[in-house]
């Protein structure tokens, strides 16, 4: 291995790609697209801020009024904290039970459908005993609203319990403070609250990995074919070993991808921070904290996965003379990458289930899925270790396999080879250049 030569190849692959207009157009178009998407999101959140008319069927008979008061107080507090912020204005309408409960609910359901009501809440003592309350709404995905409602109910219930037990009301304030402290503690246990930011980061990282394997993996295939159709490859092979050329290309193209992400993260930091800050001020979402372990696992699985797929794409490009010819086989790695996403919901829902374990050990889905598991759950250490070992072994094996095909394929012109022919190349003895053993005779 001559790193001087590999470096020359990396440098060429990198610079020639980064210097193209297409690269910069893609680099700036994607953030523009994302910003547009975020703008729509922010706009839609703004739109949903405003009046929320909610009916409360209070079967306890004494919770509806405190709830309305609590929500109003919270609204007031928020306005004081960030003046001019537009948030949700709750209008609580206590409703008596007309006839039986089911009929009341049915009537309310109509009102919600007719958009007279945003939703309705049923406070049933038998359910409250089991720490449950029912909230019906057209939109159950408006998390900011849901959370506000939930917190308010909890506060009211807490005060109610204190009153019932005959304890001083001031204790309520004390306990409420403790409630706040408790939310902070939950983060160390890795429970839902704090995971919010982490999961968003994990999904962004997952998308980056997926895109890299797909796009930059394919770039390797195109690069190999381009060198063949240019008829330059034989000239290069006279100076650089095929393995070195392959390695240089894979690294160079990978660095192009990383450059793009660097630009994106810079753009994101500069442009979207105000937007995130705005959202944080409006809702009560926590700052997206990305755990260091997530970043570490991302880098590890990103590099392994990229090398794995880049090797496959290289091997597929080498025997052919046009993208079209190679496309038939290129579908295989493309499908493998997509299959990683196909099991995404299953892994997300049950990060330690059978599907998740398999997907995170199977080398072709492991980079995406083991990374996801480490981000959303805590998979057993041996599984992480095993996944990494399997991935490293597969990557080395595939790179070797790809190298064998590559060194024969790049010099093959003319007829499109068949798959059995290509597989025979693996056993074929190619030219090997010896390292200088003795001082050269002259």
Partner 1 sequence: MTAAIELENVSKVFGRFPAVDSLSFQVPRGVIFGLLGPNGAGKTTTIRMIMNITAADSGEIRVLGNPMTREIQNRIGYLPEERGLYRKMKVVDHLLFLAAIKEVSREDARRRIAEWAEKLELKPWLKKKVDELSKGMQQKVQFIATVIHDPEILILDEPFSGLDPINTAIIKDYLSDFRKQGKTIVFSTHVLEQAEKLCDEICLLARSKKILEGNLRDLKRRFSHNLLHLSVDAPPAEIAALPGVASSQPVNGGYVISLAPGTDQREFLRRALDRYPLQGFSTKDPELEEIYLDAVRASGIEETRTIE
Residues that bind partner 1 (CB under 8 A): 2, 4-5, 8-9, 11-12, 15-16, 20, 227, 230-240, 411, 413, 429-438, 440-442
Instruction: Give the residue with the Cβ less far from partner 1, 123 or 236.
Output: 236
Q: How far is the CB of 226 from partner 1 (least distance, A)?
A: 8
Instruction: Give the residue with the Cβ less far from partner 1, 14 or 297.
Output: 14
Which of 311, 337, 318, 331 lies closest to 397, judged by CA?
Answer: 311
Strand-pair partners of 123: 58
The Cα–Cα gap between 330 and 332 comes to 5
Q: In this structure, are residues 290 and 200 in contact, taking their beta carbons and an 8 Å threshold?
A: no
Instruction: Give the residue with the Cβ less far from partner 1, 15 or 39.
Output: 15
Which of 330, 331, 386 lies closest to 362, judged by CA?
Answer: 386
Instruction: Give the residue with the Cβ less far from partner 1, 9 or 343.
Output: 9
Query: CA 52, 282, 154 angle in degrees (round to 5)?
Result: 60
Instruction: Give the residue with the Cβ less far from partner 1, 40 or 232.
Output: 232
The Cα–Cα gap between 419 and 273 comes to 51
Q: How far is the CB of 18 from partner 1 (least distance, A)?
A: 13
The Cα–Cα gap between 295 and 313 comes to 26
Q: 74: number of CA atoms within 13 Å, CB side?
A: 23
Q: How far is the CB of 277 from partner 1 (least distance, A)?
A: 43
DSSP annotation of 84 reads: T
The Cα–Cα gap between 127 and 357 comes to 37
Structure tokens at 183: 């939310």
Instruction: Give the residue with the Cβ less far from partner 1, 420 or 440.
Output: 440
The Cα–Cα gap between 377 and 357 comes to 12
Instruction: Give the residue with the Cβ less far from partner 1, 292 or 437.
Output: 437
Strand-pair partners of 136: 120
Structure tokens at 87: 């948030």
Q: How far is the CB of 246 from partner 1 (least distance, A)?
A: 14
Q: How far is the CB of 427 from partner 1 (least distance, A)?
A: 13
From the number of C-beta atoms within 10 Å of its C-beta (0-12, 13-18, 19+), residue 130 rates as exposed
The helix (H) or strand (E) run that includes residue 375 is helix 366-376
Q: How far is the CB of 422 from partner 1 (least distance, A)?
A: 15
Report the side by side order of strands in the sheet with 134-137.
88-95, 50-58, 119-123, 134-137
Instruction: Give the residue with the Cβ less far from partner 1, 234 or 378.
Output: 234
Q: For 121-232, where are the alpha helices, taking DSSP H only?
A: 125-129, 143-164, 170-189, 192-211, 217-229
Instruction: Give the residue with the Cβ less far from partner 1, 126 or 438.
Output: 438
Instruction: Give the residue with the Cβ less far from partner 1, 11 or 116.
Output: 11
Which of 90, 55, 42 lies closest to 69, judged by CA?
Answer: 90
Q: How far is the CB of 403 from partner 1 (least distance, A)?
A: 15
Three-state SS across 337-367? HHHHHHCHHHHHHCCCCHHHHHHHHCCCCHH
DSSP codes joined into one string, 209-220: HHHIIIIIHHHH
Instruction: Give the residue with the Cβ less far from partner 1, 231 or 427.
Output: 231
Can you tell me which residue has the tokens 């406070």?
123
């Amino acid at each position: 291995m001559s790193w001087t030569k590999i470096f020359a190849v990396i440098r060429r692959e990198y610079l020639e790609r980064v210097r193209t207009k297409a690269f910069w157009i893609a680099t700036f178009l994607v953030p523009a697209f994302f910003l547009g998407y975020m703008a729509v999101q922010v706009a839609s959140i703004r739109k949903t801020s405003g009046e929320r008319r909610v009916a409360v069927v209070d079967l306890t008979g004494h919770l509806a009024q405190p709830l309305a008061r609590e929500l109003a107080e919270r609204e007031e507090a928020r306005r004081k904290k960030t003046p001019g912020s537009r948030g949700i204005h709750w209008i609580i309408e206590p409703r008596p039970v007309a006839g039986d409960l089911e009929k009341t609910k049915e009537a309310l359901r109509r009102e919600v459908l007719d958009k007279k009501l945003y939703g309705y809440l049923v406070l049933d003592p038998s359910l409250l005993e089991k720490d449950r309350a029912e909230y019906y709404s057209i939109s159950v995905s408006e998390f900011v609203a849901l959370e506000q409602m939930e917190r308010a109910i909890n506060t009211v219930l807490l005060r109610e319990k204190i009153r019932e037990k005959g304890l001083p009301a001031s204790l309520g304030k004390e306990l409420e403070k403790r409630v706040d402290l408790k939310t902070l503690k939950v983060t160390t246990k890795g429970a839902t609250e704090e995971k919010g930011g982490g999961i968003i980061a994990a999904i962004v990282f997952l998308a980056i990995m997926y895109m890299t394997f797909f796009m930059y993996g394919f770039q390797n295939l195109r690069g190999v074919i381009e060198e063949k159709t240019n008829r330059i490859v034989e000239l290069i092979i006279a100076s650089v070993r095929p393995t070195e050329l392959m390695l240089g290309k894979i690294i160079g193209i990978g660095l192009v991808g990383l450059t793009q992400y660097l630009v994106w993260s810079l753009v994101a930091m500069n442009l979207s921070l105000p937007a995130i800050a705005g959202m944080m001020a409006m809702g009560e979402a926590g700052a997206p904290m990305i755990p260091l372990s997530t970043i570490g696992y991302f880098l590890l699985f990103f590099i392994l996965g990229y090398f794995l797929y880049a090797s496959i794409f290289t091997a597929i490009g080498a025997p052919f003379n046009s993208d079209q010819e190679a496309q038939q086989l290129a579908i295989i790695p493309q499908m493998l990458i997509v299959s990683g996403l196909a099991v995404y919901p299953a892994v997300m829902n049950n990060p330690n289930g059978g599907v998740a374990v398999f997907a995170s050990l199977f080398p072709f889905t492991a980079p995406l899925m083991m990374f996801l598991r480490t981000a959303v759950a805590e998979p057993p250490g041996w599984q992480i270790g095993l996944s990494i070992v399997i991935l490293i072994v597969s990557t080395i094996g595939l790179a070797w396999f790809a190298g064998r095909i590559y060194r024969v394929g790049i010099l093959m012109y003319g007829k499109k080879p068949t798959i059995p022919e290509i597989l025979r190349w693996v056993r074929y003895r190619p030219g090997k250049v010896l390292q200088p053993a003795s001082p050269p005779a002259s």
